[in-house]
Amino acid sequence: MEKHAYTNELIHETSPYLLQHAHNPVHWMPWGEKALLRAKNENKLLLISIGYAACHWCHVMEHESFEDPDVAQVMNTHFVCVKVDREERPDVDQIYMSAVQLMTQHGGWPLNAIALPDGRPIWGGTYFQKEVWVDALQQIQAFHQQNPDKTEAYAERLSQGIRESNLIPVSQTPQPLDIHQLKQAVSRWKQNFDQIEGGQKGAPKFMMPNNLQFLLRWAHQMNDHETLAFVETTLKKMARGGLYDQIGGGFARYSTDSYWKVPHFEKMLYDNAQLLSIYSQAFQKTQNPLYQQVVQQTIAFIERELHSPEGGFYSSLDADSEGEEGKFYVWQKQELQDLLQTEFPLFSDYYQVNENGYWEHGNYILLRQQSDETFATKHGLSLNELKQRVKNWQQKLLAVREQRIRPGLDDKILTSWNALTISGLVAAYRAFGENTYLHLAERNLQFLKAKQLTSTGLLKHSYKNETSKIDGFLEDYACLIQALIDLFETTGNSSYLNDAQQLTQKTVELFYDREKNIFYFTAETQTDVITRSIEVHDNVIPASNSVMANNLFRLGHFIGEQNYQKLAEGMLEKLVEDFKVYPSGYSNWMQLALSLTSKHYEVALVGQQALEKLKELQKHYLPHCLFCASTAASPLPLLKNRFSPSKTWLYVCQNSSCQLPSELVSETLKLLLP
């Protein structure tokens, strides 16, 4: 057994990020009542350091400072030191990120904060070099010791600022909603489109899949060719860039430049889950084979590298291997020449092993500049011949890469991210009809229900080593309800809808604030944070409140619960002025706004062939439709009294008022397509 000079309380945790720090000389404790009580009893300030397993600069700061005994002595002497995995405790991360942003106007990870023993912050920042870190800690400790009243007053002002904002202010005055407000928001948004490279102008570039999902739907429903061209440019550039793993599939977290070449190499489950959805939907809209390739490869990556034997999906892969960022993914030219021999000239042109793909230190990032059709024509190849060669190259390089030292795996399983993956797999099943995608999604749901759902109907947030821990947050409930509704719409299995309804009732009970007409991020039973935050700003993952609002809208239609629909509409109306000013931060809210202000249909299919016809319908891009299907008589409002043993009827409805039914998918599509 390996011997370590130091071991701290993190050794008892399951989070890979916390375990990375278990042998630091710093006397780290996990976040919780025990750490807060120790700080109070010893009258010490809290030092709260927040990061995640795949974070490159978190590793750098650990190596420079937290592994240094001299630095650790300063930290241990004056502070109770707490390590937080932001993915395990997003509620804690939200509070201290908000504090640091209020103090410094920027944020990031590692996130480091100093707080009074009760958790109220007084100072913070992100990455610090060792000398700066030690100097700052000594100054803060000395100032607090000499001026306790001043630090107390500052902590109260800062905490009040956090409480008042609830991280992001929610307007108290509802605004009436109409399509012109959405047109105004999209018009403003277009000013920041990078029409050449896709995405938002400038660097770094984040993929923001929910932005793309809304914009694709907007382009489809409004016949907006400019916006459709922008979405397509973005999806193509991302898929051909170094951001995308050209050999193994899957996307890195973001591009460090403005043209998707050099990624920050960490791979996150939540990104790839959501990108399955947008690429599948884009294929439904355009039939571009590139999008199908991306979905197939990305699912293969998730299965190969993030799939647990129990059916859950792991959280992320590190950016670093052997202490170097990206080492696992990049290639030296000589290495490629030796591997590919006579194939190398064609390979190097296809994957830009030239000045375009050169990165640093003799390393090349594989990327593409042309469609397969254009490349095949250029080299006098048939498209099928090129595809076979590319497949052979990928298999050969993947086999070699598998022999390398792998990046670290964060093998905790998060309920919310797994639920996003279910939705992504369901979207892929709809687009391509591949049964294995639906099987993966349903198996993952079985895992979540078996491991993360308690006998009292409560969700847990994190799972590892047969241990389910941390009470679920709003994001866990909202994302799982969304996944259940997606599965119901795709399979017609009413048990999914029943589960979604039960989970929604529990969510209202635990998180809903009737006075504010919004949901808190943490349950009312949460006691170890200084305030309950409200998340409304859509980011790389949609805000838990926007997911919940869309859920309430959909569920209300299916079960005939108008109060759910009114609640969703009321939540949205609070934010109308916000999304007009900053549309990219409210894209999932704008999905709901579009459902409420433009054509929106409920499609009911009932009869023995309902599921076959449903599958045929859902091959098409119909984002403005809800689907309700059954092969037997059903009590659901959209299906009630409509079953015939000899025919399968397709009804197109708006607000539960239906047109005359048809037996033909083709006739139904005429009513649904723009």
The gap from C-alpha 218 to its chain's centroid, in whole angstroms, comes to 21
pLDDT digits (tens, 9 = 90+) for 535-579: 999 999 999 999 999 999 999 999 999 999 999 999 998 888 888
**What would the mean pLDDT of 46-69 be, rounded to a whole number?**
94
Give bridge partners of residue 206 from the DSSP assignment: 254
Residue whose tokens read 């909603």:
177
Instruction: Name the token pair of 260.
Output: 């998707």
Measured CA distances, 519 to 427, 513, 543, 544, 588 (Å):
27, 6, 11, 8, 16
pLDDT digits (tens, 9 = 90+) for 355-392: 999 999 999 999 999 999 999 999 999 999 999 999 99
CB-CB contact of 295 with 279 (8 Å): yes
Identify the band that residue 117 occupies on the pLDDT scale cut at 50, 70 and 90.
very high
The gap from C-alpha 229 to its chain's centroid, in whole angstroms, comes to 24
Q: What residues contact residue 308 under an 8 Å CB cut-off, 6+ apart?
A: 314, 411, 413, 447
Measured CA distances, 388 to 345, 392, 393, 649 (Å):
16, 6, 9, 44
pLDDT digits (tens, 9 = 90+) for 455-467: 999 999 999 999 9
Q: Report percent pLDDT > 90 for the chain.
A: 88
168 pLDDT exceeds 60? no
Identify the band that residue 154 occupies on the pLDDT scale cut at 50, 70 and 90.
confident
**What would the mean pLDDT of 277-303 be, rounded to a whole number?**
98
Report the chain's terminal Cα–Cα distance, integer Å.
Answer: 66
Residue whose tokens read 């590919």:
340
CB-CB contact of 39 with 80 (8 Å): yes
CB-CB contact of 633 with 669 (8 Å): no
CA dihedral over 183, 185, 188, 193, signed as positive or negative: negative
Residue whose tokens read 């687009």:
431
Residue whose tokens read 């707080």:
115
Measured CA distances, 669 to 225, 285, 523, 673 (Å):
21, 14, 43, 6
| CA 97 – CA 124 distance, rounded (Å) | 9
Instruction: Name the token pair of 240.
Output: 């051909």
Helix (H) or strand (E) holding 264: strand 263-264
| CA 194 – CA 199 distance, rounded (Å) | 6
Polymer length in residues for the chain:
674
Residue whose tokens read 């279910």:
422
**What would the mean pLDDT of 214-232 be, rounded to a whole number?**
98
pLDDT digits (tens, 9 = 90+) for 229-257: 999 999 999 999 999 999 999 999 999 99
3-state secondary structure of 672: helix
Q: Considering only CA atoms, which of 371, 225, 207, 214 is closest in space to residue 288? A: 371
Q: Considering only CA atoms, which of 376, 385, 450 is closest in space to residue 413? A: 450
Alpha-helical regions (H) of 316-414 = 333-340, 344-350, 372-378, 383-401
Longest CA–CA separation in the chain, Å? 86
In one-letter notation, the amino acid at residue 16 is: P
Full-model pTM: 0.95
**How open is the CA angle 540-541-542, to the nearest 5 degrees?**
115
Give bridge partners of residue 79 from the DSSP assignment: 45
Residue whose tokens read 């060792």:
130
Segments of 276-345 assigned E as strands: 316-317, 320-321, 324-325, 331-332
Average pLDDT of the chain to the nearest whole number: 94
* 230-254 exposure pattern, b = at least 16 Cβ within 10 A, e = fewer: bbbbbbbbbbbbbbbbbbbbbbbbb
In one-letter notation, the amino acid at residue 544 is: S
Say what the pLDDT of residue 171 is.
Answer: 56
Environment class of 1 (CB within 10 Å of its CB; exposed 0-12, middle 13-18, buried 19+): exposed
166 pLDDT exceeds 70? no
Say what the pLDDT of residue 120 is.
Answer: 93
66 pLDDT exceeds 50? yes
Residue whose tokens read 């021999």:
341
Measured CA distances, 14 to 79, 302, 465, 467 (Å):
24, 22, 7, 8
CB-CB contact of 207 with 573 (8 Å): no
Q: Report percent pLDDT > 70 for the chain.
A: 98
Give bridge partners of residue 144 from the DSSP assignment: none
| CA 47 – CA 74 distance, rounded (Å) | 11
pLDDT digits (tens, 9 = 90+) for 179-203: 999 999 999 999 999 999 999 999 9
226 pLDDT exceeds 70? yes
Say what the pLDDT of residue 289 is.
Answer: 97
Say what the pLDDT of residue 174 is.
Answer: 66
Phi/psi-derived region of residue 168, left when phi > 0, alpha when psi is between -120 and 50, beta in every other case: beta
**What would the mean pLDDT of 516-521 be, rounded to a whole number?**
93
580 pLDDT exceeds 90? no
pLDDT digits (tens, 9 = 90+) for 585-627: 999 999 999 999 999 999 999 999 999 999 999 999 999 999 9
Say what the pLDDT of residue 167 is.
Answer: 46
Say what the pLDDT of residue 401 is.
Answer: 97
